[in-house]
A and B are shown apart, each in its own frame.
Chain A
Amino acid sequence: MMKNINIMIVGVGGQGTLLASRVLGTVALKKSFDVKVSEVHGMSQRGGSVVTYVKLGEKVHSPLVEKGEADIILAFEQLEALRWLEYLRDGGRMIINDQKIDPMPVITGKAKYPENIIQKIQSSYGNVLSLNALDIARQCGNIKAVNMVLIGVMARSTQIEKEVWLQSMKEVIPEKFLEVNLKAFEAGYSIFS
C-alpha cells in the first residue's frame, strides 16, 4: 500500500489558506485518491494562526497531520513557517512566502519578530523554496491571489498534470475571480522552472 501524502497549509487567518486547501482536495479527488481536508473555521479565522491539513492516499483515516509527518508545508507567512516547522518530516519540502505579518504581541512590543527566519530554516533544512508571492500576486492584478501563486509553485513540484490543477481551480474558484487566480497560478508554476 502506498504511503499517504501529508500536506499542510499554514498562514494567518484571512490569507486564503482555505481556498488553497480546497483546490488541493479537488485535485486529489480527480486523481482518484482517498482524501481528507481538515479546515479551521470560527474564531481563529480572525487574523490568528491557521493551519489546514490535506492528506491523500489509498485510505486516509485521521484528517490531521502529526508532528514530523508533513511531506510538504506551504507557508503563507514567515513566522508561521517557523511555528509549524516541527511538523515537517525529515527530507520534507517547505515552500515559504516571504511575507511578514506582525502578530499582536509584536505590534504591542511584548515580543520580537524573529530575524532571518528563512535563512535559518534553509540552513537547517535543505528542501526549502522561498519567494515573494505577494509581489507576484500584485503583478497578476490582486494581492489576494497569493494563495494561487503558492499552489502554482507546489503544483510544479508534484507529478500531477497541470491540466488537473487548472480544472480543479475552475471548479472551486468563483467565476469572477478565476482569471486573476489562473494568472497567479501560472506565475507560481513557472517561477522555479
Chain B
Amino acid sequence: MKKLMLGNEAVARGAFEAGVTVATAYPGTPSTEITENIAKYEDVYSEWSPNEKVALEVAIGASVAGARAICSMKHVGLNVAADPLFTVSYTGVNGGLVIMVADDPGMHSSQNEQDSRLYAKSSKVPMLEPSDSQECKDFVKEAFEISEKFDCPVIVRLTTRIAHSQSVVELGERVEYKLKEYKKDFNKYVMMPGMARKRHVEVEKRMAALKEYADATGLNRIEWGSKDVGVVTSGIAYQYAKEAFGGVSYLKLGMVYPLPEKLISEFAKQVKTLYVIEELEPFIEEQIRSMGIEVKGKELLPAIGEYSVRLIKEKILGEKPRNFTPLEDNIPVRPPVMCPGCPHRGVYYVLKKLKLTVTGDIGCYTLGALPPTESMDTCVCMGASVGMALGMEKARGKDFAKKTVAVIGDSTFVHSGITGLIDVVYNKGNSTVIILDNSITGMTGHQHNPTTGYTIKGEPTKQVDLVKLANAIGIDRVRVADPFDIKEFEKIVKEEVQAEEPSLIISQRPCALLKHVKFEGLLRINKERCKRCKLCLTVGCPAIVDKGDFIEVNEALCVGCRLCTKVCRFEAFEKAGDNDEKH
C-alpha cells in the first residue's frame, strides 16, 4: 500500500515496522510529529519526557533491557541529551537504539542552526541521513540493524525539508521483535574509569568496522552519468543537486558518518571535477579533503541557511538570477504573532507597562519580544530565563532585581527551569519568576507535559503541582493569577518584584487554541464611543486594526477574548450582533 507521508510520519512507521516497543521524545520543531505519530500505534509505549536528556535515558534503559527503542528530538535537544549520548556510545546497546535528530537549516523555528553531524563524529556514533519519506522509513529500519550488529546507538539525522515534506511511502509489515535476554554486565553497562577504558577500545574497533561497512552498504550508492562532474551529497541537498546538475554523476551518501572512504576515492578518480553539496558545515567536504582529494564546496556555497536548486545553479553553474520587477517596493513583512485570545498577551501588556527587564525563554511567548509588546530582553535556550535573571541580579545588585522578571512556559519550566529556580533559592537570590502556564506545550502544536495531567496517549495521570513544588524547594511567595485580570496581575507583579526573597507567579489561563476554550462571542467597535485613543492597539492583538480614521475589529480573526475591553476606557468594544457569530 502506498501512502503520502511526512518524513516524520515515515520515521514513525519505520520504527513501528522495526518492532520498536519504546519511543520517547521531548517535542521540538521540526521533530515533533515523529513521536506524535508513533503514539498512534497501540503496540508501542510512547512518552513525552520532561526533556531530551531524560528521553534518551529512558530509551537507553529500554535498550539495555532488551527492547528496540527510539528517541527523538530537534537539533538543540541533542545538546541537552549530549551527556548520555557520549557515554551510551561506550556502553553500546542490547536491543537496537536509534536517536532521531532534526536539524533546522534556515531556522524556521529555532534559535540557532547547528549541524548535528558534528555530534556523530565527536561521540563516535554512526549517522544516517535520508533524503525523502521512503528513505526515512527504510533508513530507520536499517539503523536498528546497524545498532544491533555493531553494538552502538545510531543517529538518524533529518532536516526541516525532509521532516516536513510529504512524499510517497510504500508501507510494510511490523516485525514482532522478541526482547533480547537481559544479563547483568558490569563491564559493559557500568561506566567507571576501569570499565570505560576498556570500552573505549571497543568503540575504536567498532568505528573501524563501521568504516568497512560504509564502503559495502547499499545506503551509499553511485549514480553514474556524465563524468565531467561528480557530486557527493546527501539528504535534502541530494534532491536539490539532482534538479540543478541533471545528468552528471552522483555519490549519494545515506550514511554520513563514518564516510565510505574507498567508495569516495574510486568515485573521485573517475570524475573530472568533484563537488560536495551539503547544507551548513563543510562536514563531508573537510573529511574528503583530509583524504588528499581535491574538492569544491564551501568556497562556492554558503555555510548559512538552506540551499535550493536555484542557489546551486547560480553559485556553481553560473546561471544569472531571474529578472523580476516587484509591483511594490516595500511589501510589509508579516512576522508571526501571538494568536488572538492568547493568554500571554495580558502578561506582556503588564510587563511593558511596568517597564521591567524580562529574561525570556523558548516557546510561543518568545513572540513577546517583537513589536508591539517588545517586552522580552533575552532568549537563549530552554530554561535560561531563570538562571539569567539570577545572573543579572548578581551582576547588578538587588535593586536591579526589583525591576527584573523571568518568564518561562509550563513545559519549559519542567524541561529545565526547575534547576534554575533551585539555584535562585539556594544562592539567596531575589528573582521573580513568572510561569506562563497555558495548560499545554503550545508552540510545537499542543503536546501534553507533566503539568497538564495527561499522557501522550491522552490518559489521565498525576499532575505536577507547581505551588507545592515551589514551596518544597524553599519559595514562600507563590502567587497564582489570571493574566486577563490585568489590574490584579499588575498589582501582584509589582508586589513580587519588590519582595526581597525569591517569588514565583503562576500565570494561569489556557491556550486559546485548546478545544475546550470558549469565549462569549465576537466583538465590534462602537464608533460613537470610540475616542480613537489607540490604547487598545498596545495590547498587540492582530484582530484590532487601525484604519486611520477609525479602529476596526477584524471579525475573521477576533475570538472574543475581551482583553481589549479591559484596556479600553470608553467601553467602545461591544458584542457583535448574533448574525455575525462564528460557527
Residues of A within 8 A of B (CB): 12-14, 22, 25-26, 29, 34-49, 60-64, 66-68, 79-80, 82-83, 85-86, 99, 101-114, 117, 120-121, 124, 134, 141-143
Contacts and interface: CB of A to CB of B under 8 A. Distances in A.
Nearest to B322: A68
B576 interface: no
A103 B334 CA distance: 5
A61 B237 CA distance: 10
Contact of B310 (A66, A117, A142): A66
Interface stretch (B52-60, B289-297, B542-550): B542-550
B337 A111 contact: no
Nearest to A83: B331
Given A34-B168, A121-B327, A42 B108 contact: yes
A143 B4 CA distance: 28
The 5 closest A-B pairs by CB, nearest first: A42-B109, A42-B29, A48-B336, A111-B332, A103-B334
Contacts of A105: 332-333, 335, 371
Contacts of B164: 38-41
Contact of A104 (B161, B242, B542): B542
A101 B324 CA distance: 25
A143 B167 CA distance: 30
Given A63-B167, A63-B239, A102-B554, 17 more contacts: A29-B2, A35-B4, A36-B165, A38-B161, A38-B166, A43-B29, A46-B367, A47-B334, A62-B236, A62-B243, A86-B324, A103-B334, A104-B334, A104-B335, A105-B332, A108-B372, A113-B332
Contact of A29 (B4, B332, B335, B371): B4
Nearest to A49: B334
9 contacts: A12-B334, A37-B165, A49-B333, A60-B167, A67-B310, A82-B331, A104-B370, A105-B332, A114-B331
B430 interface: no
Contacts of B458: none
B554 A101 contact: yes
B443 interface: yes
Contact of B109 (A26, A41, A67): A41
B327 A25 contact: no
B195 interface: no
B167 A35 contact: yes
Contacts of A102: 542, 545, 554
Contacts of B348: none
Interface of B: 2-4, 6, 29-30, 32-33, 108-109, 132, 161, 164-168, 236, 239-240, 242-243, 308-310, 322, 324, 326-328, 330-339, 364, 367, 370-372, 443-445, 537, 540, 542, 544-546, 554, 556-557, 582-583
Contacts of A120: 327-328
A46 B556 CA distance: 15
A141 B581 CA distance: 11
B309 A101 contact: no
A124 B327 CA distance: 9
Contacts of A68: 322, 324
Contacts of A117: 327-328
A34 B132 CA distance: 12
Nearest to A120: B327
B337 A29 contact: no
A158 to B, nearest CB: 18
A125 B539 CA distance: 39
Contact of A42 (B166, B330, B444): B444
Contacts of B6: 39
B334 A48 contact: yes
B327 A85 contact: yes
A79 B6 CA distance: 29
B161 A43 contact: no
A42 to B, nearest CB: 3
A109 B32 CA distance: 36
B332 A64 contact: no
A43 B372 CA distance: 17
A45 to B, nearest CB: 7
Contacts of A143: 556, 582-583
Contacts of B29: 41-43
